Amino acid sequence: MRNDHYYPADHFINRELSLLQFQRRVLAQAADPTVPLLERLRFLCIVSSNLDEFFEIRVSGIKEQIRVGSRKSGEDGISPTELLERVSREVHAIIARQYQLLNEDILPALEQEGVVFLRRNQWSEAQRAWIRTFFLNEVMPVLTPIGLDPAHPFPRVLNKSLNFAVELEGRDAFGRDSGAAIVQAPRALPRVIRLPREICEHEYGFVFLSSVLHAHVGELFSGMHVLGCYQFRVTRNSDLFLDEEEVKDLRASLKGELQQRQFGGAVRLEVADNCSVDMASFLLQHFHLDGDDLYRAPGIVNLVRLMQIPDWVERADLKYPPFVPGLPKALEKRQQIFAAIRSQDILLHHPFQSFAPVIEMLRAAADDPHVLAIKMTVYRTGTDSVLMEHLARAAQKGKEVTVVLELMARFDEEANITLANRLEEVGAHVVYGVFGYKTHAKLLMVVRREEDGLRHYMHMGTGNYHPRTTRFYTDFGLLTCNKEIGEDVAEVFKQLTGLGKATELRHLWQSPFTLQPKVVAAIGREAEIARGGRRGRILAKMNALLEPETIEALYAASQAGVEIDLIIRGPCALRPGVPGLSDNIRVRSVVGRFLEHHRIFHFHADGEDRMYLSSADWMDRNFFRRIEIAFPVLDPRLKRRVMKEGLRPYLGDNCQAWDMQADGSYRRKNPRSIRRAAQLILLKELAASS
């Protein structure tokens, strides 16, 4: 683990503020008229979903720093109190822009296309009748209105759930006149309801559950006068904490923590913009929040509920065109997968190329009588993953199946516990890695008996074994049976399932042991080469760059004359283009149809062109608190492919690229003549058809 060093605070951009800059870049996709209309709506929802997690994890962390009296939030030197104020201002501005886009641009444009969200004052008599019947039959029976009085305390409010605060006047049958009630919308109820076509003038007519309840809330309080009904939503601290000294059974302890996650400390209150000042103050007081924690929404609270709409609306002209992922040439002849891997290393580039070869490798391993063992790391894979079906079948057939399952994969913990139970029931060995270190490496190893002895077949990737996300995350995967790499992978699995000292691996860089020192050393070698008057060059692509020692190494390399291009999708703490510090460093972010997710590290290395792919970003957590790997691309042909597909198109992108400025802001590239969008280029070159 790295030693503590002092670095000047002005060398670094704050992580949280940089992450909010990323949300602005995503929001710009929702504002882009060249993006299909329903996809613009989807981007708007993605921002809301991202902000939810930002509050659940990042803002809750800042509040905890304030509680314990921390003086600074990070290497940038900003105090937690100042940071929380700056975060609040920035998020309020982002949300204001969100609703402006929704109300003034996207919803009117959708209405012109026959996709309408009807407000209460727009309902026809036929619609009112249908909605009332829907309320009485489908909604009212599952609601439990709770009047606030000494016998009915404020109900426990689930994290991110939809609730209504109701102001009332009058006395009920028991003479009570508390003046306020809470109505919670059960999660079983749909948040968006499609109206029957026969009562709607438009092809697609929708109403919100909130509108339905607002219109009929009086039904819940017979004889009382409703003064106001206001949507509200509370976001809670959702980080999990397990004490290593107290935990005896990780799975059992985690189950207990998950039950409490829904009721962590409140960090944000969202209300409809018509919420009265008195009610907003009452809610803030109840949840122990300040005025800066209040977010008024000029529309529905929680835009994430609109995420389903693009899937419900069958309008291909309002969505990205479909495509069929391609296959590498080595697999186009559809030969047996193990024979194909024996003949040469195979590089897969998702989503432009299919994830099917990985599924086929596991399917073949489950059914092949020559396969003796399968070992796999799983971080996120989904609850209905076909990969897990193949693993289960392999175990049932008597093969040695070992799954290193990361129970602490954030927000996938419950799904992974279910998966662990299922795999153990069919005889697979399930282990949870090393407590205190998340297993984030993406590894699959198949041990097969062949004529010349046992051979290891591997898949190593930059992304999760999740067939759904491989359709919209950009990732590389390498299929190989290289003997030395196989020995490295086997050693990593031995560490994860057993006990023992870490040994030096021949090819893989592994955290928490060698990955960060190897990266820093590789950067340092480029600096030495440049000081010697030769060419120093670094190209790297990842999701985040935050680790200070690595950033300082990049600064030193820049000052030595190394040309450095970094493609960082999300937060970046490094300041590019600062005279005397980072003159030779350029940072850009690419945001488009697909989520940029591959991690690529390329060092010129005096002409050796050392190329690594990895599951790790250059962050403290990935370097020191996770089990990660970076694996080399040894085949010169595949190195050229990684450069051609994973780096050069992104450096040449002038449509979806944003150049980072020294102050942490970003400027979008604008094409002057020929438009070059990396993802569109790759779709054209690699996909089978569109």
Share of the chain above pLDDT 70, in %: 92
- What's residue 242's pLDDT? 42
- What's residue 248's pLDDT? 42
Please tell me whether residue 689 adopts helix, strand or coil conformation: strand
Per-residue pLDDT band at 490 (split at 50, 70, 90): very high
Q: Are strands 266-272 and 225-236 parallel, antiparallel or unpaired?
A: antiparallel
Segment 350-360 shows an average pLDDT of 96
- What's residue 501's pLDDT? 82
Please tell me whether residue 514 adopts helix, strand or coil conformation: coil
Asked if pLDDT for residue 1 goes beyond 50, the answer is no
pLDDT digits 0-9 by tens, 38-47: 999 999 999 9
Residue 119 marked ligand-binding: no
Q: What is the CATH number of domain 329-503?
A: 3.30.870.10
DSSP code, position 572:
B
Q: CA 160 to CA 157: how far, in whole Å?
A: 8
Q: What is the CATH number of domain 510-686?
A: 3.30.870.10
pLDDT digits 0-9 by tens, 585-607: 999 999 999 999 999 999 999 99
Give yes or no for a contact between 211 and 200, defined as CB atoms under 8 angstroms apart.
Answer: no
- What's residue 247's pLDDT? 38
Per-residue pLDDT band at 117 (split at 50, 70, 90): very high
224: closest CA among 151, 282, 175? 175
Residue 569 marked ligand-binding: yes
Asked if pLDDT for residue 344 goes beyond 90, the answer is yes
- What's residue 224's pLDDT? 82
- What's residue 4's pLDDT? 59
- Which residues face 231 on adjacent strands? 164
CATH architecture of 9-318: 2-Layer Sandwich (3.30)
Break the chain into its structural domains and give their ranges.
9-318, 329-503, 510-686
Asked if pLDDT for residue 256 goes beyond 80, the answer is no
Segment 505-514 shows an average pLDDT of 97
pLDDT digits 0-9 by tens, 69-88: 888 878 999 999 999 999 99
Segment 481-501 shows an average pLDDT of 92
Residue 668 marked ligand-binding: no
CA distances to 121, 147, 486, 562, 588 from 545, in Å: 49, 50, 29, 18, 12
Asked if pLDDT for residue 503 goes beyond 80, the answer is yes
CA distances to 85, 251, 279, 433, 439 from 407, in Å: 34, 7, 40, 9, 9
The dihedral of CA 586, 677, 600, 382: what is its sign?
positive
Give yes or no for a contact between 672 and 27, defined as CB atoms under 8 angstroms apart.
Answer: no
Asked if pLDDT for residue 141 goes beyond 80, the answer is yes
Amino acid identity of residue 293, one-letter, is D
Give yes or no for a contact between 306 and 103, defined as CB atoms under 8 angstroms apart.
Answer: no
239: closest CA among 416, 64, 15, 20? 64
Higher-confidence position of 259 and 473? 473
Tokens 């590290």 locate to: 601
- To the nearest 10 degrees (0 to 180), the angle between helices 80-101 and 15-31 is 0
Helix and strand element counts for the chain (H, E): 22, 27
- Which residues face 176 on adjacent strands? none
What's the mean pLDDT when you consider all of the chain? 91
- Residues in the chain, overall count: 690
Q: CA 307 to CA 309: how far, in whole Å?
A: 6
Tokens 């050393």 locate to: 521
Residue 21: Cβ-neighbour burial (10 angstroms; 0-12, 13-18, 19+): buried
pLDDT digits 0-9 by tens, 541-588: 999 999 999 999 999 999 999 999 999 999 999 999 999 999 999 999
Per-residue pLDDT band at 173 (split at 50, 70, 90): low
pTM, rounded to two decimals: 0.92
| Maximum pairwise Cα distance, the chain | 90
Cα 164 to chain centroid distance, Å, stands at 29
Segment 434-459 shows an average pLDDT of 93
Asked if pLDDT for residue 478 goes beyond 50, the answer is yes
Q: CA 394 to CA 356: how far, in whole Å?
A: 18
- What's residue 518's pLDDT? 98
- What's residue 152's pLDDT? 65
Asked if pLDDT for residue 415 goes beyond 90, the answer is no
Asked if pLDDT for residue 421 goes beyond 80, the answer is no
Phi and psi dihedrals of 107, rounded to 5? -65, -45
Phi and psi dihedrals of 377, rounded to 5? -95, 140
457: closest CA among 350, 353, 365? 365
User: Which residues have a Cβ under 8 Å from the Cβ of 334 and sit 6 or more positions away?
Assistant: none
- Which residues face 117 on adjacent strands? 206
Instruction: Specify whether 216 is catalytic.
Output: no
Q: CA 403 to CA 600: how far, in whole Å?
A: 26
Q: CA 554 to CA 608: how far, in whole Å?
A: 20
Segment 491-512 shows an average pLDDT of 91
pLDDT digits 0-9 by tens, 319-339: 999 999 999 988 877 679 999
Same fold, 329-503 and 510-686: yes
Q: Per the structure block, which two tokens stand in for 119?
A: 């407000």
Of 214, 216, 350, 440, the active-site residue reads 440
Give yes or no for a contact between 171 and 159, defined as CB atoms under 8 angstroms apart.
Answer: no
Asked if pLDDT for residue 253 goes beyond 60, the answer is no
Give yes or no for a contact between 338 and 400, defined as CB atoms under 8 angstroms apart.
Answer: no
Q: CA 442 to CA 474: how far, in whole Å?
A: 15
Asked if pLDDT for residue 500 goes beyond 50, the answer is yes
Give yes or no for a contact between 481 and 458, defined as CB atoms under 8 angstroms apart.
Answer: yes
| Strand ranges, E, within 523-590 | 537-542, 563-568, 585-590
Asked if pLDDT for residue 150 goes beyond 90, the answer is no
Asked if pLDDT for residue 254 goes beyond 70, the answer is no
pLDDT digits 0-9 by tens, 598-634: 999 999 999 999 999 999 999 999 999 999 999 999 9
Segment 529-541 shows an average pLDDT of 98
Residue 654 marked ligand-binding: no
Residue 50 marked ligand-binding: yes
Amino acid identity of residue 476, one-letter, is F
Q: CA 78 to CA 664: how far, in whole Å?
A: 14
User: Which residues have a Cβ under 8 Å from the Cβ of 611 and sit 6 or more positions away?
Assistant: 600, 601, 602, 632, 633, 639, 642, 643
Per-residue pLDDT band at 246 (split at 50, 70, 90): very low
- What's residue 238's pLDDT? 80
Q: CA 268 to CA 237: how far, in whole Å?
A: 9
